Structure 1
Amino acid sequence: MARDLRGFIKLLEQRGQLRRITALVDPDLEISEIANRMLQQGGPALLFENVKGTDQSVAVNLMGTVERVCWAMNVEQPEELEALGQKLALLYQPKPPKTLAQTVNFGKVLFDVVRAKPDRDLFPPCHQVVLKDEQVDLTQVPMLRVYSGDADKVITLGLMITRDPESKIPNVGVYRLQIQSKNTMTVQWLSVRGATRHLRKAAERGEKLEVAISLGVDPLVIMAAATPLPIDLSEWLFAGLYGGKGINLSKCKTVDLEVPADAEMILEGTITPGDVAVDGPAGDHIGFYGPVNEKAPLIRFNCVTHRKNPIYLTAFSGRPPKEDAMMAIALNRIYTPILRQQVTEIVDFFLPMEALSYKAAIISIKKSYPGQARRAALAFWSALPQFSYTKFVIVVDETINIRDPRAVVWAISSQVDPARDVFILPDNPFDSLDFATAQPGLGGKMGIDATTKIYPETDREWSEPLTPDPETAAIVDRRWAEYGLADLQLTDVDPNLFGYDMK
C-alpha cells in the first residue's frame, strides 16, 4: 500500500469498501447525515466527488469499522495490534534485558526504530500549489458543519504540528478547529495535550507558537498521532514503527516545522499567546453540544500549500458509533502491553465504545492480596495521561470476560457491596466538555472492586462459583450429534435473544 491517503483509498476500493458519490452534495449538514447513516450500519467509506462550493473531493468514514482501522495500520486482525503495543512498551519504559531472548527482542525493536526514522522529501507533493498571504482562503476548504446547532464549520482530522520552544521536539495532535474568517481558526484542546504545553512555554518566552495543520494524510499517521507517547518521543517515529519504514517529511514554506510530504494540504500559521476568539458551540464526542469557549486560542494562517486536485479527509464526533470510536477500539489493543508494563497485576483491560472509549474502563487482575483491586484502579488512572479523564474503573477477576457486558454486570451484582467496594475520589482535574460534573474541568472518579473478596476484606467465607461438571460436559460434547442436535452448534449465542444488542 502506498504510504499516503490516496493509496489507502485505492486499497479500500480494491476490497469493495469504498463508494464514490457523484451527485452534488452540501458540506453543510448533508454530507455528515449521509456518512452517519453509513457509520451506524457499518457501511463502506465514502468519497464525495461533487461537493457544493469547492472543486475538492471529500473522503469520510474511511476508518468507520475496526476492520478498516486494522488495514490502515497494515494488519488484518485487531489481535495483531498487540505486537505493535509490545514494541511501544519497550520504548515507553525501557529496562535492561536480563536474558538472551530479551536482548534479541530489544535489539529487534532498536533495529525497527532505525528503519522508522523519517526521510526528507525536497520536492513534496503537498507543495504542488502554494498560496500565501492574501491568497489564503480557508472558505475554499470543504469543511463540514455537522449539526444544526454548530457555530460554524470545523476541521476534525487535521494533524496539528507544533514544537517545544525549549527542547525543539515536535508534537503531533488531533484537535478540533473552527473557522473564524478566511485566514483564522480557533482550536479546542485539553490542558494536558502537548500543544498546550508548547503554547504555555512560548508565552513564558514572549514568543509566537508556530503551527502547521496537515490535512489528508495516511490514516496510519493519524493513528500514531492518537497513540499515547512519552513526551520526548516523536509521533513521526511511531508512524514509521507502525508502517515498517520512515515516513517522508518536508519543510514548511513559512514556519520552521516539518510535515508529511504526501499530505493533501498544509495550513501554516502562528498563535500569539493571548490572541483568542469565541469558539463553539459544536457537537462533541460526549453526545452533546460542547460549551462556548470565549478564550479559545486563535491561529492566524499566512500560507496554504496543497496537491493538485486535493482530497479533503474528515470525520466527525458524536454519540458512538463514530470513526473515533472505531479508532479507539484498535488503540485499546495497542495500549494493553503498555498498561501491563505500567501496572503489572493487570491481565487485560477494555474501554467500552458505549462509554465513549475512555469514560469507563474495565480491568481484570489476578488477585493475590487484599486491597489489590483498589491499587490497580489507582494505578490505572495515572498510567497514561488520557486515563486521568476516565470516570469509572471496574476491577474484576481474571476469569471474567471483560468484553462481555453480561459477565461484567454479573460480577458487579454478585461481588460488590457498595459500602465496602465502591470508592470516590472527589475534585480531580477533568474533561471540561463533560456536562455531568458540577464544575467545568473538575469532577469525581469512582472505583468499583468487583473481584472475589479475601480476608481481611471480608470475614465471610466466599462461596465457589457455579460451573458445569467437566465430566458431564465432556459426555454431552461427545454425544451432541446423537441427540439429533448436530445442526445446532451453540458456541456463538445471539445476544439479541436476551433482549439487547452487544455488537
Structure 2
Amino acid sequence: MILSQPSLRSLPPFPDLRAFLAFVEGRGDLARIDAPVSLRHEMTAVQLAALRRRGPVLRFDAHDGPAIPVIGNLFGTRERVAAGLGLTPDQIPAFGDFLADLRSPTPPRGMRDAWSRWPMVRAALSARPAILRHAPVQQDDLPGLDALPVQTPWPGDAGPLITWPVVLTRPHGTGAEDTADYNLGVYRAQVLGPDRLIMRWLAHRGGAAHHRTWLRAGEPMPVAIALGADPALLLAAALPLPETVSELGFSGVLRGRRTDLVAARTVPLMVPAHAEIVIEGWIHPGETALEGPFGDHTGYYNAVEPFPVMRVGAITCRRDPIYLSTVTGRPPDEPSVIGEVFNDLALPVIRAQIPEVRDLWLPAAACSYRMAVVGIDKRYPGQARRVMMALWGMLPQFCYTKMIVVVDGDIDIRNWDDIAWALATRMDPARDVMVIDRTPMDYLDFASPLEGLAGKIGLDATTKIGAETARDWGTVMALDPAHEARAEALLAEILS
C-alpha cells in the first residue's frame, strides 16, 4: 500500500467520503441528528455549537430540504483533519518534513539513505491520476440545483450557498486529458436557480487565472464541481500549494493511492470518480451576476460584487448521495481548524527557506493568516527584521499577513500571556516597530484604507543584542528545575 510506512501514514487510504465517514463512526465520532433542522440559519447554529465543543461529525437526516442527508463539521477537530491525511495528530510534524523533502529533495548519502526515501518515490508515482471508464458518481442524475439540500448559512446571506465545492478548471489550449494542468479550488458558489450559480473566485486564485485565458480566447469555459469528495481531495484543494503543483496529483500523495477520474458527461473535463455529486456546466464570456452578501471568515458580511455565472448542464451522482456542507464565519470555524493543521505542515517548508525560524503560529482568532507570531534562534542584530522581510517577500502565503511578531525561542508562541510579556519587556515602540505602506492585502479587510492595498507592521519582541541596544540587558528569572520538580512531587503527595 502506498505511503504505508509507519513514519508517514498509519491509517489506510479513504477512497471516498463514505469510507471516511465509516471510519469516524467506528470511532464513535459521528452523530446522526433525527430531529427536524432548518437549512436556513438553524443548521449553521448546530454545526458551530458542535465545533466549539470539539464535537463529532454531524449527519442531518430530517432537515427541511430535498431528501438527501447533509454532512457537517467533517473537519471540526484537529484529530479528524489529521485522519483525513491518514495520520494521527502526533505524526503531522513528520509528515510536514516529508512534504518539504518531496518538494526540495536533497541527494541521498549512500544506499541506506536512498532506500529510506523509497516512500517518497512511491508517493511521486501515486500522483498520476487513474482514468476509469465507469464511476460511482455517474450512477444516477439529479434534475437541478434545487434537488440539493443547500444551506443558507447566515441571516444576512443573499440565498443558498454551496460551501464545500471542489471546483475543477483547466486553462484554454489544454485538453480534458491534460490533468496535470487542472486547478482544484474551494470557491463559494451562490445558487441562483435550478440551472445557474455564481462562481466566486478571487483574481489571484487558480480558477480565475484559467477563466482569464478563456475570456481572451472569447470561448465558454468548461467547469465541473465535485461535492462530497474524499478527504484527500478536499484537503489538497484547500491547501495553498505552489502554482506548479497539481492538486489532483498532490491528493494522490495525501491519499496514499492514485486519484480515480472519469470523463464528465457534458463538458470536456475529467472529474473525481468517487465523489458523491458532480455539477457540470459552462461559464460564458462576460456573463456575470451580483454575488452576495454572505458571511465570511472575517466575521463580517462581504460586499456585493459581480462574479462569473455558471450555466449547469448536468448533475450526476451516486445512488443515494450525501451532501457535504460547512460554515464559514468568525473563528473558530471549520476552515480555521483545517488552517491550524496546515500551519504545522507548512513549517518545515518555511524552515527550509528561513532556517532560524523555530516555530510559527497563525492565530485562528486573527482569521488564520492576518497575524503571525514567529519564534527564532536569534544570533545577530537586525535578525528579527530580516525574518519579517523574508516572510513577506519570499513566501507568497504571507502576502496578506499584516502583522508579524518575532520573539525569542524561550517564548511559547501559542501562549498569549507569553507573547504579551515579550512585547511588554523586549519591545520598544520607537525602535522595534517596522511599518510598510501600500502593500497587497485581501480586499475583504475592511480596515484597509484602499481596496487591495494596506500597511504591514512588524514587532521585534526579541532580546536586543549588539548594536540594537546600548544598555545591559536584564537576566530572566528562573528556578532550578530540580526544585520545581520537587515542588510538584510534594504538592502531588499533599493534594492526593
Could you tell me the TM-score, scaled by structure 1's length? Answer: 0.90
Aligned equivalent of 1:202, options 214, 221, 228: 214
Specify whether residues 9 and 476 from structure 1 end up closer, same or farther in structure 2 by C-alpha distance, changes over 3 A only. closer
User: Matched residue pairs, number?
Assistant: 479
Matched position secondary structure for 1:341: helix
Aligned equivalent of 2:160, options 139, 153, 157: 153
1:192–1:385 CA contact under 8 A, matched in 2: no
Aligned equivalent of 2:474, options 422, 439, 463: 463
Taking the aligned partners of 2:387 and 2:466, their CA distance within structure 1 comes to 18
1:321-378 per-position Cα deviation (integer Å, ceiling 9, x unaligned): 1111111111111111111112222111111111111111111111122221111112
Taking the aligned partners of 1:363 and 1:311, their CA distance within structure 2 comes to 41
Aligned equivalent of 1:249, options 261, 265, 272: 261
**Following TM superposition, by how much is the alpha carbon of 1:442 offset from its aligned partner in structure 2, in angstroms?**
1.6
2:47–2:327 CA contact under 8 A, matched in 1: no
Specify whether residues 411 and 273 from structure 1 end up closer, same or farther in structure 2 by C-alpha distance, changes over 3 A only. farther
- Alignment-derived partner of residue 333 in structure 2: 322
- Alignment-derived partner of residue 357 in structure 1: 368
Bigger drift between 394-403 and 456-465 goes to 456-465
Q: Is it true that 1:170 corresponds to 2:174 in the alignment?
A: no
Q: Is it true that 1:443 corresponds to 2:454 in the alignment?
A: yes
- Alignment-derived partner of residue 474 in structure 1: 482
Matched position secondary structure for 1:139: helix
Aligned equivalent of 2:236, options 224, 228, 233: 224
**Following TM superposition, by how much is the alpha carbon of 1:187 offset from its aligned partner in structure 2, in angstroms?**
2.0
RMSD of aligned alpha carbons? 2.0
Specify whether residues 24 and 427 from structure 1 end up closer, same or farther in structure 2 by C-alpha distance, changes over 3 A only. same
Aligned equivalent of 1:259, options 263, 271, 275: 271
Amino acid at match of 2:399: S
Give 5+ residue unaligned stretches, structure 2: 1-11
- Alignment-derived partner of residue 9 in structure 2: none
1:246-275 per-position Cα deviation (integer Å, ceiling 9, x unaligned): 121111112222221110000111222321
Specify whether residues 437 and 243 from structure 1 end up closer, same or farther in structure 2 by C-alpha distance, changes over 3 A only. same
Matched position secondary structure for 1:389: coil
Give 5+ residue unaligned stretches, structure 1: 490-503
**Following TM superposition, by how much is the alpha carbon of 1:121 offset from its aligned partner in structure 2, in angstroms?**
2.3
Matched position secondary structure for 1:419: coil
Matched position secondary structure for 1:290: coil
Matched position secondary structure for 2:430: helix
1:256-308 per-position Cα deviation (integer Å, ceiling 9, x unaligned): 22221110000111222321100000000000111111x21111111111111
1:381–1:387 CA contact under 8 A, matched in 2: yes
Matches within 5 A, 1:402-417: 402-417=413-428
Specify whether residues 359 and 305 from structure 1 end up closer, same or farther in structure 2 by C-alpha distance, changes over 3 A only. same
Taking the aligned partners of 1:5 and 1:420, their CA distance within structure 2 comes to 53
Matches within 5 A, 1:97-496: 97=108, 103-104=114-115, 106-130=117-141, 135=143, 137-166=144-173, 168=178, 169-293=181-305, 295-468=306-479, 470=480, 473-475=481-483, 477-478=485-486, 481=489, 483=490, 485-486=492-493
Taking the aligned partners of 2:304 and 2:367, their CA distance within structure 1 comes to 21
Bigger drift between 159-168 and 407-416 goes to 159-168
Taking the aligned partners of 2:53 and 2:199, their CA distance within structure 1 comes to 31
Amino acid at match of 2:148: V
Taking the aligned partners of 1:11 and 1:108, their CA distance within structure 2 comes to 24
Taking the aligned partners of 2:372 and 2:262, their CA distance within structure 1 comes to 39
Q: Is it true that 1:17 corresponds to 2:17 in the alignment?
A: no
Q: Is it true that 1:60 corresponds to 2:60 in the alignment?
A: no
**Following TM superposition, by how much is the alpha carbon of 1:206 offset from its aligned partner in structure 2, in angstroms?**
2.4
Matched position secondary structure for 1:283: coil
State the identity %.
39
Amino acid at match of 1:184: R
1:30-84 per-position Cα deviation (integer Å, ceiling 9, x unaligned): 211221221222222110112223011100011111112112221121x312222
Taking the aligned partners of 1:282 and 1:320, their CA distance within structure 2 comes to 16
Specify whether residues 476 and 461 from structure 1 end up closer, same or farther in structure 2 by C-alpha distance, changes over 3 A only. closer
1:177–1:187 CA contact under 8 A, matched in 2: yes
Could you tell me the TM-score, scaled by structure 2's length? Answer: 0.92
